[in-house]
Structure 1
């Protein structure tokens, strides 16, 4: 699977209701060792709905202090975004991702620490 298969795909909850489009994919580097490259990456979860522009500029990181007006603007734009842990993904077919949870049960996107 490629990240391009996920980005922009529509997410449907357990009832078939739309959650939003995948705006970002969170990866962690704790997979199997890949020779001289070290541990491989694996998908931790999906950022669904809301905007992603501010996150791409780093405004979702705790250590980014400002400019404050932009930080507040992006926080407001991203408040509807939800985080889907990868184990909740049930199927990916034709750019539609089905998950094993209701939209109402999905947490907000966790802020990055580094």
Structure 2
């Protein structure tokens, strides 16, 4: 599997920054500003890692993460839950994410968290 990452966040600035950073590291970056049809998106992209925002249309990151983790072939894909919410750790746990990244984050932190699951 190639170094392919899916980032779901409704903040286009975050998507642009993350895309730039991760493409520099050799990742093939796919982005979505919503989590509609998330299972079809995962099927299409076949990511090695997923970055999932908490406050994302439609349905939110918790439901999207739970949907991904409920499918046998997808539950092995590491999901990094990321949000500016103060309760990020418990939200990530509720969603079933593998780990979390609090916003705002610095480049080294983003790289470290992705490296820890990939």
TM value normalised by structure 2? 0.29
> When you count helix as a share of all residues, which structure comes out higher?
2
Q: By percentage of residues, which structure has more strand?
A: 1
Structure with max Cα Rg = 1
Question: Normalising by the residue count of structure 1, what TM-score does the alignment of the two structures yield?
Answer: 0.30
